[in-house]
Amino acid sequence: MYLDRELDQILLDDLQEHISLCENCMAFLKTMEKTIALSRAYYHKKCGRVPKSVSEHMFYHLRIIYKKRKI
């Protein structure tokens, strides 16, 4: 919740103060942020456009379904 800034402002301020003084919490938080950033980068690299053949195959099947529904 802290990472997502979803906490009440007073609690957020208290936590920020604690984290600035606590080496373990600071390290934990940094590694959590890095985990999310690395995961985003990993997925960004993995994703891309839909291959043309995949898209065409899907539209082909959809059109068969349209025809079946008309019958």
Instruction: Region of 7 please: left (phi>0), alpha (psi -120 to 50) or beta.
Output: beta
Q: For residues 8 and 44, which CB has a smaller minimum distance to other proteins in the complex?
A: 44
Site residues for other proteins per CB under 8 A: 1, 3, 6, 23-25, 27-28, 30-32, 34-51, 54-55, 57-59, 61-63, 65-66
Q: Are 7 and 1 in contact (CB under 8 A)?
A: yes
Q: For residues 13 and 27, which CB has a smaller minimum distance to other proteins in the complex?
A: 27
Minimum gap (Å) between residue 14 Cβ and other proteins: 17
Rounded CA-CA distance 63/46 in Å is 30
